[in-house]
Homo-oligomer: A and B are copies of this chain.
Amino acid sequence: MTNDVRSYVADHSADLLADLDAWLRIPGISAQPERRDEVIRSAEWFADACRRTGFPVVEIWPTDGMPTVYAEWPSEDPDAPTVLVYGHHDVQPVDPIELWHTDPFDPTVDGPVLRARGASDDKGQLLFHLLGVRAHLATTGRTSPAVTLKFLIEGEEESGSPHFEALLAERRDRLQCDVVVITDTGMLAEDTPSAVTGMRGLVLADVHFHGPDLDLHSGVFGGAVPNPAQAVARLTAALHDDNGRVQVPGFYDDVLELSEQERELLTRVPFDEARFLETSKSRALAGEAGYSTLERIGIRPTAEVNGIGGGYQGAGSKTIIPSDAFVKLSFRLVANQRPAAIREAVHAFIEEHTPPGIECTINWEAAGVAPCLVPIDTQAYQALSRAVCAAFDADLILPTWEGGSGPEAAIQQELQAPMVFLGVGLPDDQIHAPNEKVTLSMLYKGAEAAAHLWREFAEVGREGLKS
């Protein structure tokens, strides 16, 4: 079976590549309102690809924001489990555009990798699924999959999924399933298959400070009126103490500490700090005192500055007190932190750090994303493990705690089904950065793993997936 699947995928890899080239040319950046039509075009492209693959039901679901693609392929077996696959068709912005070596929307194959915005996050991974379905059918001789497949492919993941929870609630009946497969993550390395077992949540805040109603001459007014750029810097600096601990009161109150078993598993992850440092293209590691790098990026909550700005941005100097300044903050949450509580605590912290004479506006990007956990002793996780091992010729997969955040927690809460993560990104894919790439062999292994997974889930059965 493994060899059949592998041969099928190898024989049809050119199809995946051709589809990837076509889809990646559509710049569906959901965070940029002016790209709205492109995001819609991206949804339509993927819907058409599902139809070409053979899905009998393909729909585009509008939201108050960007559209979601829904594709369904019922199994002919009456007792087959139903699997919901989640991914997203929108992509990140591309700036700073000047750091790209190639046009982000002109996909370029460079030896073993393909470079383009969205190549790894998440278009490449969704396309391995389409090839995976075909491989599953061809190698099992079936005309419908061994499980009922429901693909739910969102269009706003890269801008915080603001309308996704409403969509889940509205469409809950159609989305009923026995297990959820999230495909928007990565593995430790090409030769180290792994699966996410914990995912951090996210709260995003765009903080705007308004000072004088116009830029002032700093020689005339400097030192006598509040400076919003200085205030934003002081707020930002106050977020951490010298040990890298977040100083928002109550921030750590709900954090679930790891169990002994989980902590032991974490130590077995072959984490290469030197390699992590190299991948990060940084000159040092840093972070919360008392935790390893792996813990800092996986199991600890963080506060990060994603952008800061205010005042003169051009060449040379301009001696002004700026009228406005801003800071864009992201907070990564771990189980059992609740986005609403963190948002409230951060709000109070920002107000506390808004000096007199400064007007503060906080724009919360959606309601936030709750953290989520995958227990490793479930049959769903064991089935995933077998499928991935078959694709990678491996004996076991390692659990990881990934830092990325999507609407996984909302899916888990709304659909009340076990969840597993099948994703084949690599740490050096430079997702969200210039020169994003995907390693093509990982996509082919992903297609293999998906083909195996539908069979594994069918063998476990609906009852088995409950335990």
Q: Which residues of A contact B (CB under 8 A)?
A: 31-33, 92-93, 95-96, 99, 159-160, 200, 202, 204, 206, 211-227, 229-230, 232-240, 244, 276-277, 280-288, 293, 296-297, 300, 302, 304-323, 325, 327-328, 330, 332, 355-359, 365, 402-405, 427, 430-435
Instruction: Collect the chain B residues with CB atoms within 8 Å of residue A93's CB.
Output: 312, 314, 316, 318
Is B225 a contact of A433 with CB atoms below 8 Å?
no
Known: A431-B217, A433-B214. A312 touches B307 (CB 8 A): yes
Question: Please, which residues of chain B bring their CB within 8 A of the CB of A300?
Answer: 223
- Give 25 CB contacts A-B under 8 Å: A32-B316, A93-B316, A160-B316, A200-B219, A204-B319, A214-B430, A216-B281, A217-B404, A217-B431, A221-B282, A223-B304, A224-B286, A230-B305, A233-B234, A233-B235, A237-B238, A283-B359, A304-B321, A305-B311, A307-B312, A308-B308, A309-B313, A317-B330, A318-B328, A318-B432
Q: List, in ascending order, chain B residues with CB within 8 A of A328's CB.
A: 311-312, 317-318
Contact A319 B309 (CB under 8 A): no
- Asked if A211 and B307 sit within 8 Å, CB to CB, the answer is no
Whether A317 touches B236, Cβ cut-off 8 Å, given contacts A214-B99, A218-B306, is: no
Please indicate which of the listed interface residues A213, A402, A432 has the most CB atoms of chain B within 10 Å of its own CB. Answer: A432
Cβ–Cβ < 8 Å partners of A306 in chain B: 218, 229, 311-312, 317-322
- In the complex, besides A229-B307, A230-B237, 11 extra interface pairs with C-beta distance below 8 angstroms are A96-B215, A212-B281, A214-B434, A216-B432, A221-B403, A224-B287, A226-B284, A283-B356, A285-B357, A308-B309, A308-B311
How far does the alpha carbon of A32 sit from the alpha carbon of B212 in the complex, in Å?
25
DSSP majority for the A interface?
loop
Chain multiplicity (copies): 2
By a CB distance below 8 angstroms, the chain B residues around A96 are: 215
Residue of B293, B317, B433 touching A159 (CB-CB under 8 A): B317
Check A282 against B215 for contact (C-beta < 8 Å).
Answer: no
Q: Is the CB of B355 within 8 A of A224?
A: no
With A219-B403, A309-B313 known to touch, is A227 a contact of B284 (CB < 8 Å)?
no
Q: Bound state CA distance, A93 and B160, in angstroms? A: 37
The 6 residue pairs across chains A and B that have the minimum distance between CB atoms: A284-B357, A237-B237, A307-B311, A233-B236, A223-B302, A213-B281
Contacts of A358 in B (CB 8 A): 283-284
Complex: A237 Cα to B231 Cα, angstroms:
8
Which residues from B are CB-within-8-Å of A218?
Answer: 302, 304, 306, 330, 332, 403, 432
Residues of B within 8 A of A230 (CB): 236-237, 239-240, 304-305
Q: Which residue of B lies closest to A220 (CB)?
A: B403
Please report the C-alpha to C-alpha distance between residue A357 and residue B240 in the assembled complex, in whole angstroms: 17
Q: Cβ of A432 and Cβ of B320 under 8 Å apart?
A: yes
Q: Shortest Cβ distance from A303 into chain B, in angstroms? A: 8
Residues of B within 8 A of A216 (CB): 280-282, 432-433
Residue of B nearest to A311 (CB): B307
Closest B residue by C-beta to A218: B304
Evaluate contact between A317 and B206: CB separation under 8 angstroms. yes
Q: How far is the CA of A341 from the CA of B202 in the complex (A)?
A: 46
A430 to B215, CA, bound (A): 8
Partner of A220, one of B206, B283, B312, B404: B404
Shortest CB-to-CB span from A103 to chain B, Å, is: 17
Within 8 Å CB of A323, what residues of B?
99
Least distance between A434 CB and chain B CB atoms (Å)? 6
Contact between chains at A308 and B223 (CB < 8 Å): no
Partner of A222, one of B31, B312, B330: B330
Q: Smallest Cβ distance from A306 to chain B, in angstroms?
A: 5
B229 with A308: CB separation less than 8 A: yes
Which residues of the other chain, B, contact A232 by a CB distance below 8 angstroms?
A: 233, 308
Q: Which residues of B contact A356 (CB under 8 A)?
A: 283-284, 286
- A225 touches which of B95, B284, B316, B319 (Cβ 8 Å): B284
Complex Cα–Cα for A99 and B296 (A) = 43
